[in-house]
Structures are given as C-alpha cells and as structure tokens.
C-alpha cells in the first residue's frame, strides 16, 4: 500500500481535466493520493468547485480571488458571495489570493484585495491560501499587520531559508511542489530541506507546475508521490515519513476530515 498523501493545492476544477477527471482520480487513489484541496480563483468558479466537491467526498475547496483574476471583481461586491461559499462544509479556507509582481495589475490594487482577504480570514477564523510571486517583503508586511489565528500556507513556495523561517514563525506553512524537482531551484531546495518538517505541505498546483522530466505536459495530482519522493530525498528521510508528516500538517491546517 502506498503511503497516504494530500494534494493541498490542485486546480482540479479546471477545464484541462474535464475529459478524464474521474480516471485521474482513480489513478490518484491507487497512488495513495486520498484528498485534495481546490483553491478558489474567482467568484464564478467557486460554485463549480463546490459542485465537484459535493459529488466527491474527498475533494475540498477554498474561496477567494487569485491575483490573475482580479480584473473580474470591483470593490467589495464579491465579499458576500464569498462568505456564502466559505460557509459550505467542504470549504476549508480563504484563497487563493496574494501578490504577483509578474502581472500588470498595480501592486496597490493587489494589496487592497489582499487586505480584504486577510480581514475575511480573520473574521471567519479560517486559514488562508497565499500566492506570492517575487513579493515576499510586501506579503510579510501584510501578514504582520493581520495576525491570523489559524495561519495559512504560502503555496508553491519559492525562496530562501530565511524567508521560509519568517513565514513559519508567523504561523504559515509552505507548499512544496514541482519546483523542488528541478536542480536549478537551489535556494528553494535548500529552504525546504532545512525548515522543520511540521512546516511543509505537499501540492501539485496542477495543471500548472509540471515536474522535472514532464515539462510542457499537463501536470496532474497523480504525480504527487513524485513530489513526496523528491522532498524525502532532499531531507534524507523515507517517503513514508514525508507522507505521514505532510498529511498530518494538511489535516491540522485545513481540518480535512479523516
């Protein structure tokens, strides 16, 4: 029996999986992937994620606005619909939301939307799923202003040991994905091998973030064991140990049902 794993960040609702979602899920189960979290991207998508999670008891979702879809919302109109989505029994977190320096949306607008998400996570006492591209300093500043009881995760973490430590000390975990399978990702590989294992979650971010050797292909949650194996090698432990601790971490953070 393969060890049990949780994919803490998988866009399994995306069109890329419409043709063969159920086949993939059955391969996931044989590979030990037992549960997954579908992050929120924008208001229309929350209902789609919710529908999928109602049909599949092992899938959960989060509700929030990804910076790439920020153009779809104005002001604070989205908040009430988001509160409704968050009240669903399969909705475990606020997000994904965050800051991304590679897109055209001005930082001030991104930060205003992030602040609304932080207030929401605080008010709803939920963990938050954060997307951060080249904006760790700004994000850390915001997280210090809004300490969250349940913390959250910096998904697809990429950065130094120092930055990883800073997040962990503030109560945020780090999502480890396909990046660590690339040798050139030296800084991130070092960070995830030195930070306490209690800080780490596994994720694929599928259909994005293909693993080394699968560049240009659709990424899939069925490859999560390869991420676990990569992390185990970097830390010099067994895949069983990585599976046990990261699964426990995901359950602790999000409250996945056993």
Contact residues: Zn ion, CB under 5 A: 39
User: Of 3 and 127, which has the nearer Cβ to Zn ion?
Assistant: 127
User: Of 39 and 151, which has the nearer Cβ to Zn ion?
Assistant: 39
**Helix or strand or coil: residue 47?**
helix
Are the CB atoms for 207 and 15 separated by under 8 Å? no
142/145 Cα distance (integer angstroms): 5
User: Of 39 and 127, which has the nearer Cβ to Zn ion?
Assistant: 39
**Helix or strand or coil: residue 16?**
helix
The answer, yes or no, to whether the previous bond of 207 is cis (omega within 30 of 0) is yes
Output the smallest distance, CB 16 to Zn ion, in A. 13
Q: What number of other Cβ atoms are within 10 A of residue 19's Cβ?
A: 9
Output the smallest distance, CB 44 to Zn ion, in A. 16
Tell me whether strands 172-176 and 128-133 are parallel, antiparallel or unpaired: unpaired
Output the smallest distance, CB 103 to Zn ion, in A. 14
Output the smallest distance, CB 241 to Zn ion, in A. 26
Output the smallest distance, CB 154 to Zn ion, in A. 12
The answer, yes or no, to whether the previous bond of 246 is cis (omega within 30 of 0) is no
List strands edge to edge, sheet with 172-176: 5-7, 33-38, 59-63, 91-100, 128-133, 152-154, 172-176, 200-202
132/246 Cα distance (integer angstroms): 21
Which H or E element spans position 202? strand 200-202
155/226 Cα distance (integer angstroms): 17
User: Of 203 and 226, which has the nearer Cβ to Zn ion?
Assistant: 203
User: Of 224 and 239, which has the nearer Cβ to Zn ion?
Assistant: 224
Output the smallest distance, CB 92 to Zn ion, in A. 15
User: Of 219 and 246, which has the nearer Cβ to Zn ion?
Assistant: 219
């Amino acid at each position: 029996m393969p060890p049990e794993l949780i994919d803490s960040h998988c866009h399994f609702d995306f069109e890329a999986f419409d043709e063969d979602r159920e086949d993939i899920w059955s391969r996931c189960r044989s590979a030990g992937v037992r549960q997954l979290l579908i992050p929120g991207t924008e208001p229309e998508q929350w209902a789609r994620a919710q529908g999928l999670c109602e049909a599949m008891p092992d899938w959960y979702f989060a509700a929030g606005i990804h910076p790439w879809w920020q153009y779809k919302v104005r002001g604070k109109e989205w908040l009430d619909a988001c509160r409704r989505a968050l009240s669903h029994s399969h909705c475990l977190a606020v997000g994904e939301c965050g800051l991304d320096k590679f897109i055209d949306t001005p930082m001030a607008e991104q930060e205003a939307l992030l602040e609304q998400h932080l207030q929401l996570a605080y008010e709803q006492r939920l963990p938050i799923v954060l997307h951060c591209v080249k904006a760790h300093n700004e994000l850390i500043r915001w997280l210090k202003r809004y300490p969250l009881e349940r913390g959250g995760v910096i998904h697809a973490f990429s950065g130094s040991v120092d930055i990883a430590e800073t997040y962990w000390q503030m109560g945020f975990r780090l999502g480890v994905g396909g990046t660590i399978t690339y040798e050139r990702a030296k800084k991130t590989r070092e960070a995830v091998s030195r930070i306490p294992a209690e800080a780490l979650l596994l994720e694929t971010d599928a259909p994005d973030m293909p693993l080394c050797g699968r560049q240009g292909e659709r990424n899939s949650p069925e490859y999560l064991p390869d991420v676990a194996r990569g992390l185990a090698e970097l830390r010099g432990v067994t895949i069983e140990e990585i599976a046990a601790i990261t699964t426990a971490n995901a359950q602790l953070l999000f409250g996945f049902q056993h």
